[in-house]
Chain A
Amino acid sequence: MPPIINAEQCSHCGTCASICPLNIFTYSKGQTPVVAYPEECWHCNACVLDCPKKAIELRLPINYMMLHVDADSLHR
């Protein structure tokens, strides 16, 4: 589940649901938005940046990895 909303912190403003470029949330007034289509998240971070309560954390799926090595291994 890519964006994770901390329901304690959320003020139910609906901003994240409105601005998500992929429309992945559903939202009803006065409630915490639901991450309805997690597999369609682009991981753009817009919801994290725009949440006025800093209530959203974005988790990258395990398979997105960002493959890397110690740079020293390239400097022999």
Chain B
Amino acid sequence: MIGFKDTITTDVLIVGGGIGGLCAAIASARSGADTLVAEKSDSRRSGSGATGNDHFLCYYPKAHGNDIMPILQETFQSQIGGFHDPKLTLRFLQESIAMADRWLEWGINMRPFGPDYEFMGHAFPGRPRIWLKYDGHNQKQILTAQAKKAGAKILNHTPVVELITADGEIAGALALDVSSEEPSFRLIRAKKVILATGTANRLYPAAGTPGSPFNTAFCPACTGAAQAQAWRVGAKMVNMEMPNRHAGPKFFARAGKSTWIGVYRYPDGRLLGPFVEQATRYIGDITCDVWNTAYTDVLHNGTGPAYIDCTGINKDDLEFMKQGMVSEGLTTVVDYMKRSGLDVTKHAFEFMQYEPHLIGRGLEVDINGETSIPGLYGTGDMVGNFRSDISGAAVYGWICGNHAASTVQQGSFREVEHSAWVQERAELYSSFMDRKNGGTWKEANLGLQQIMASYAAAGPYNVRSETLLKAGLKYLGDLRKESIESVSVRNAHELMRAVEALDLMDNGEIIMHAARERKESRGMHLRSDYTFTNPLLNNKFLQVWQENGTVHTNWRERWGL
């Protein structure tokens, strides 16, 4: 059995030191709660915001006017807008500019272009622009420093592998210390736990490069830990069945398509979309935010490929775009182009649709960011009923952190050390270390990707159905059993990856259960046995959760204003 280090006790535990986790930590520590962040790698450079971001959605009355409603509507129609409980989105927007002010005060350059905030990109001609353009290249170092300054402790190289509840409330978590070759467990007892583990990647084969599973647009260390671990203790999820596919350069998968200022063209030069003929820093070509499947469609109908052509933009905007690539953390792209003699003024780059991943799909949270399990919160990409990427993670992190800290007095510490659940899971993970000459975590992860691609595929041009999903669940069960019985790992690093593979299997299972229950076609959830979109479901969310191994689903109305 892998050894346990001393148990840590803290008022508030934050799982994941990404954008949401760090903002939650700052709020919680400033409110006087004992605050600990457990981070899988190192919060100065971890997660999808590791090397920068440049668009921060927010409502700024000075630029947008005193009526928040048009900005709310614009948010719903933007690429992050599909699956919101409007009640949460409204609160987010109301508190969003204060977060931008804080980031500015802490030293993140939120005003790179002059004395005031500027809104550019991801915008329709003639409509409000809601994305504040900033320079986030050093955001992670700054947020980490602020969290420490506020008094939060950060435990790097310590992924959380299991949540612990007592009498239906959160009690703490089991973490794995991967800072050396030899793994050890660490129990963390907490009154409140805030989950902020980001997206779930590596669920499906990498669309461009199936042989390179870590070539993902978002950080591949984010593997749906929050959804999986919360599922295991009975929390409710929503929208897990609704596929999301990002787009960007082919074959180097990278988010940040809006930083590219150009127009999308067919090989014969025609424009893909009707929105702009000439892109500028203010209004780029939003075609693919709207026509999400464009790059796949043009391959399937033979009219493609589709290229982004930046050659028509003016000199100033070109310089602006190059700067934006640095702010956005795309220096790998910049360096690669330089080394390979590629130039946006001479070359047009093919774009593609990446494989499905989970972003804005997952834990259902209430207006304060609390999940269906008392004391357990969530913020950021792993939340299922609200999404606004960088600013959403930050603002809701702040909301969760404050709420958790202000209610710690009402909570109490519970026993975690003699939990049968911890014992069971610790034994399972230890068995991978003890076993010799077994299968690898990678085989288990690839097995899952194969099953997801065949039986829970996302559109366009792929369908799901009752029989396929049912078969998928059966095969997934077989894969899990085989993995549990045969995986062997040599060190802490491989054990972390094996836990990720099992977490991803839970995500796959949740997706399939929910997809079975959504008996309609909508977005990229295409059912061959229910080919229509059911208007009665327009304003509804599908909740899914399990209790003692029995899966439950329920349709509920969206929480309106």
Contact A45 to B347, CB < 8 A, known contacts A21-B219, A61-B212: no
| A41→B214 contact, CB < 8 A | yes
| A46→B51 contact, CB < 8 A | yes
The residues of A that contact B335 with a CB separation of less than 8 Å are: 45, 48, 58
Which residues of chain B from 275 to 332 have a CB within 8 Å of any chain A CB? Answer: 305, 307, 309-311, 329, 331-332
Shortest distance between the CB of A76 and any CB in chain B (Å): 6
| A46→B249 contact, CB < 8 A | no
For A39-72 the 0/1 string (1 means CB < 8 A from B) is 1111111101110000000101101111111111
| A43→B332 contact, CB < 8 A | yes
The residues of A that contact B347 with a CB separation of less than 8 Å are: 68-71
Contact A60 to B252, CB < 8 A, known contacts A19-B45, A21-B45: yes
A51 to B76, CA, bound (A): 41
| A–B complex contacts, Cβ < 8 Å, 27 sampled | A19-B41, A21-B221, A22-B221, A23-B496, A26-B181, A42-B214, A42-B220, A44-B45, A44-B329, A45-B335, A46-B50, A48-B331, A50-B45, A60-B332, A61-B212, A61-B215, A66-B249, A66-B250, A66-B333, A66-B337, A67-B251, A67-B350, A68-B348, A69-B348, A70-B346, A71-B307, A74-B267
The residues of B that contact A36 with a CB separation of less than 8 Å are: 493
Which residues of chain B from 332 to 356 have a CB within 8 Å of any chain A CB? Answer: 332-333, 335-337, 340, 342, 345-350
The yes or no answer to B156 lying at the interface (CB within 8 A) is yes
The yes or no answer to A20 lying at the interface (CB within 8 A) is yes
A14 to B323, CA, bound (A): 29
A74 to B219, CA, bound (A): 33
The yes or no answer to B67 lying at the interface (CB within 8 A) is no
The 6 closest A-B pairs by CB, nearest first: A19-B45, A67-B350, A46-B45, A71-B348, A68-B347, A64-B252
Instruction: Give the secondary structure class of B's interface.
Output: loop
The residues of A that contact B268 with a CB separation of less than 8 Å are: 74, 76
The yes or no answer to B274 lying at the interface (CB within 8 A) is no
A36 to B496, CA, bound (A): 15
Contact A64 to B181, CB < 8 A, known contacts A19-B41, A22-B221: no
| A75→B215 contact, CB < 8 A | no
The chain A residue sitting closest to B340, CB to CB, is: A66
For B162-187 the 0/1 string (1 means CB < 8 A from A) is 00000000000000001001000000
The chain A residue sitting closest to B330, CB to CB, is: A45
The residues of B that contact A31 with a CB separation of less than 8 Å are: none
The yes or no answer to B47 lying at the interface (CB within 8 A) is yes
A45 to B216, CA, bound (A): 14
Please pick, from B45, B307, B329, the residue contacting A20 in the complex, using a CB distance under 8 A. Answer: B45
The yes or no answer to A11 lying at the interface (CB within 8 A) is no
Please pick, from A26, A65, A75, the residue contacting B252 in the complex, using a CB distance under 8 A. Answer: A65
Shortest distance between the CB of A4 and any CB in chain B (Å): 13
The yes or no answer to A18 lying at the interface (CB within 8 A) is yes
Contact A64 to B209, CB < 8 A, known contacts A42-B220, A46-B45, A69-B348: yes
Give the number of residue pairs across the A-B interface with Cβ within 8 Å. Answer: 136
The residues of B that contact A73 with a CB separation of less than 8 Å are: 267, 348
Interface residues on A, range: 35 or more
The chain A residue sitting closest to B496, CB to CB, is: A23
| B349→A18 contact, CB < 8 A | no
For B205-239 the 0/1 string (1 means CB < 8 A from A) is 00001011011100111000000000000000000
The residues of B that contact A70 with a CB separation of less than 8 Å are: 346-348
Given contacts A21-B47, A45-B332, A67-B249, 7 further A-B contacts (CB under 8 A): A18-B42, A39-B214, A40-B220, A60-B336, A63-B211, A70-B347, A72-B346
The residues of A that contact B309 with a CB separation of less than 8 Å are: 71, 74
A49 to B141, CA, bound (A): 12
The residues of B that contact A50 with a CB separation of less than 8 Å are: 45
The residues of B that contact A71 with a CB separation of less than 8 Å are: 307, 309-311, 345-348
Interface centre among B42, B265, B268, B342 (most CB of A within 10 A): B42
Shortest distance between the CB of A60 and any CB in chain B (Å): 5
The yes or no answer to B46 lying at the interface (CB within 8 A) is yes
The chain B residue sitting closest to A41, CB to CB, is: B214
Which residues of chain B from 461 to 497 have a CB within 8 Å of any chain A CB? Answer: 493, 496-497
The yes or no answer to B525 lying at the interface (CB within 8 A) is no
The yes or no answer to B55 lying at the interface (CB within 8 A) is no
Shortest distance between the CB of A41 and any CB in chain B (Å): 7
| B332→A19 contact, CB < 8 A | no
For A9-44 the 0/1 string (1 means CB < 8 A from B) is 000000000111111001000000000110111111
The residues of A that contact B50 with a CB separation of less than 8 Å are: 21, 44, 46
A69 to B496, CA, bound (A): 41
The residues of B that contact A74 with a CB separation of less than 8 Å are: 265, 267-269, 307, 309, 348
The yes or no answer to B157 lying at the interface (CB within 8 A) is yes
Please pick, from B220, B332, B337, the residue contacting A58 in the complex, using a CB distance under 8 A. Answer: B332
| A43→B350 contact, CB < 8 A | no
| B331→A68 contact, CB < 8 A | no
The residues of A that contact B331 with a CB separation of less than 8 Å are: 45, 48-49
The chain A residue sitting closest to B43, CB to CB, is: A19
Shortest distance between the CB of A6 and any CB in chain B (Å): 16
The residues of A that contact B345 with a CB separation of less than 8 Å are: 71
| B269→A75 contact, CB < 8 A | yes
| A67→B250 contact, CB < 8 A | yes
The residues of A that contact B252 with a CB separation of less than 8 Å are: 43, 60, 64-66
A74 to B347, CA, bound (A): 10
Interface centre among A44, A71, A72, A73 (most CB of B within 10 A): A71
